[in-house]
Amino acid sequence: MNTKDIPSGAELLQSHIFNKGTAFTPEERQKFKIDALLPPCVNTIEEQAERFMSLFHEKPTNIEKYAFITSLLELNLTLYTRVLVDNLEEMMPIVYTPTVGDACMQYSHIYRKPQGIFLNANQKGRFVELLAQWETKDVRVIVVTDGERILGLGDLGAQGMGIPVGKLSLYAACAGINLQNCLPITIDVGTNNTEFLNDPRYIGLKQPRIRGEAYDALLEEFVTAVETVFPDVLLQFEDFANINAFPLLNRYRDRLCSFNDDIQGTACVSLAGLQAAMRMKNESITDQTILFLGAGSAGTGIGELIVSAMAAEGLPKEEGYTRCWFVDSKGLIVKSRDNLADHKLPFASEHEYLPDFKSALHSLKPTMIVGVSGQPGVFDQEVLAAMAEYNERPVIFALSNPTSKAECTAHDAYTWTEGRAIFASGSPFDPVTIGDRTFLPGQGNNAYVFPGIGLGVIAVKASRVPEEMFLVAAKALAEQTSNEDFAVGRLYPSWQQIREISLNIAVAVAELAYEKDLARVPRPDDLKAFVQSQMFTPEYEDYA
């Protein structure tokens, strides 16, 4: 590091990139003229982290814990990352689901300092200039949202910024991507949330959302600006509504290095869970009948990747589509229905129309049900008991976030299937004891996959993120679930191994990039060692 880039005096203590707080050595304090601005003690980063966690545990509510950890993000990136890495299982529900949902709902009321870039519709024509205002030019990952479909909470407008911030925190904690190289962005095109429009403290544009050609032109300017200012970046689209998510993915996936986490990341972690379940049941994915509740971007994204995985095992794609059934708000998706959205058409089957999920369940008798509906409790006792009747080991995925939106709880899934369910959820649940057996529910969280995918992409500077990357990532994750995990009902490995998990996924992604001639760095002799060398370890640098 060139110490000429480091500010001095009080400005240094305000820089979350360079600030080390009480860890500055006496030599550094004198060199940068901060020796009178700090108490005389000199702490290690371990001591600072311990002090932070003791104060963190004193906070009485999760939202106060969120605000406290966010204040550290604004003060000291290295220490923030260290705290996350050392306490990931405890911090995950705070910096991301479910607490981040509550934080986004209250974002205008708890907002203190900018953590990313806000672009808004009134700044059209200036996006290149505005992106260039960011504090560093070495940006390798951008997570962007327009705030319209935040988790299962809907249109939160500018308050959706908590999602890109949280996602990038997981890139850092899970895969060692330095937060200095990460940029959260919210594109504010207005909101249709009347509560926010009437809230005097709402921080976003107080106008209805723009649609149609005006919206498309704004996003085109944004993507062009990203290509201009950060040409080697990985762009992750996050929490866009279905009407925009699919068109944006299709428009830009072959133009720049980009993906949609709600469509492709959710699909990847879900496929990994299904593949692990097949190992647990000693069955083939090609023999499954899967019924989805919810046919938005997440659900059909999962379906498409499952069809691709079935094709990889020899089942023709046309037949794979017939193994995946969808129920949306109007009933079973069948060919006789009119005005189906484009992303639903491949799954429209030759079957009689059925009006709701339960009638479809009893007719199709699926081996697996997947909830991506945001409808809490819809997998009720009737649904779960029926799955247990139709299957010795029913596979139940209740993936809606946050926890309050889950289609069923882990307790209900295990109780109403007599402990025979193979269960995964989108948000965390506590252990469940049925008789003499205790289950540790598996959380199908995208954080298992997108950080590793991102690490592999940026390590070799892949020019694109093709669909095959999500197949190899899912396989790499599923292979890391152990028999010990299966013994407690868990479809995913322990979070304690997440950096190794992410590394293995990254290597699989990087291998594919070289196979597809997408990598823009020479292939190293030892690919795993090379990728691992790209992972940031949260330790302080010596500025003296």
Nearest to 428 by CA among 104, 100, 98: 98
In sequence order, which residues have a C-beta less than 8 Å from that of residue 471 and are 6 or more positions away?
271, 305, 308, 309, 312
Nearest to 287 by CA among 385, 366, 207, 381: 366
- 358 is a catalytic site residue: no
Nearest to 288 by CA among 267, 268, 309, 264: 309
Q: Please give the DSSP secondary-structure letter assigned to residue 334.
A: B
- SS3 assignment for 255-292: CCCEEEHHHHHHHHHHHHHHHHHHHHHCCCHHHCCEEE
Strands (E), 372-410: 395-398
Task: Please answer whether residues 368 and 384 qualify as being in contact, where contact means their C-beta atoms are separated by less than 8 angstroms.
Answer: no
Q: Which of 20, 65, 167, 475 is catalytic?
A: 167
- 167 is a catalytic site residue: yes
Q: Please give the DSSP secondary-structure letter assigned to residue 495.
A: G
Sign of dihedral through CA atoms 467, 150, 270, 245? negative
Q: Which of 96, 171, 202, 414 is catalytic?
A: 96
Nearest to 145 by CA among 219, 265, 80, 240: 240
Token digits of residue 64: 């106060």
Residues recognised as catalytic: 96, 167
